[in-house]
Amino acid sequence: MTVLGVTIGKAEEHASEPAEACLSDWRRDCDAIVLELPGGDQLSARLRELGILPGTLIRVLRTGAHLVVQTGDTRLALRREDCDGVRVGAVPAVI
């Protein structure tokens, strides 16, 4: 599943839109599809209950120490480093 390995450096972020990245590195106001959530920890269990599952469309509304992520009409605030394991990818151009 992991295509680009672990390192999506910050330098690369500006170079071009990555096809896949960690949620905390995703650009603001860009839609993304959730690709991967970590296993059985409490945070990802809660995220799943709130509808953030692999395949869900999300948008990052705020970046920085805390992210605000939109899914459906829900906005969730979480710490940047807590979402390290969440991987997201670009929305396919044609739906």
Partner 1 sequence: MSDQPIRSDPAIALVGNPNTGKTTLFNALTGLSQRVGNYPGVTVQYQSGHMDLASGDAQIIDLPGTYSLSASSPDEAIAVDVLLGQQVGADPIDVVVVIADASNLRRHLYLLSQIIETGHRVVLALNMMDLARERGVHVDIDELSARLGIRVVPLTSHRGDGIDELIRAVEETLQEPRSEDAFSSPVPGSLVAAAHDLCQDETHPVNSHVEALRVLVDAGGHLEERLVERTNGDITQRLVALREKAATGRPLSAVESEARYAWVAQLVDGTLRGDEQLRPRRSDRIDRLLTHRVAGLAVFLAISAITFQGIFSWSAPLMDAIDGLFGDLGVVVGRYINEGPLQSLVVDGVIAGVGGVLVFLPQIAILFLIISLLEDCGYMARAAMMMDRLLRFCGLSGRSFIPMLSSFACAVPGILSARAISDRRDRYVTILVAPLMSCSARLPVYVLFIAAFIPDRPMLGSWLGLQGLTLLAMYGVGASVAIPVALLLRRTLLQGQSTPFLIELPSYKWPVPKVVLMRVYLNSREFVVRAGSIILAATIVMWALAYYPHSAEIATDFDGRRQAAETLPEATRTTTLEAIDLAEATAYLEASYLGRAGRFLEPVVEPLGWDWRLGMAALASFPARELIISTLGTIYSLGADANETSSDLRSALRASPGADGEPLDTPVALSVMVFFALCAQCTSTLAVIRREMGSWGWVVLSFGYMTALAYAGAFIVYQVTESLGWGAVG
User: Which of positions 19-78 make contact with partner 1 (CB under 8 A)?
Assistant: 31, 37, 39-51, 53, 57-59, 61-62, 64-66, 68, 70-78
24's CB contacts (< 8 A; 6+ apart) are: 63, 67, 80, 81, 83, 84, 86
- Min dist. Cβ of residue 78 to partner 1 (A): 5
11 vs 73 by CB, closer to partner 1: 73
- Min dist. Cβ of residue 25 to partner 1 (A): 18
17 vs 84 by CB, closer to partner 1: 84
Q: Where are the alpha helices (DSSP H) in 1-95?
A: 10-15, 42-49
32, 58 in Cβ contact below 8 A? Answer: yes
Q: Give the C-alpha separation, 92 to 6, whole Å.
A: 22
Catalog residues that contact partner 1 under the rule CB under 8 A.
Answer: 31, 37, 39-51, 53, 57-59, 61-62, 64-66, 68, 70-79, 82
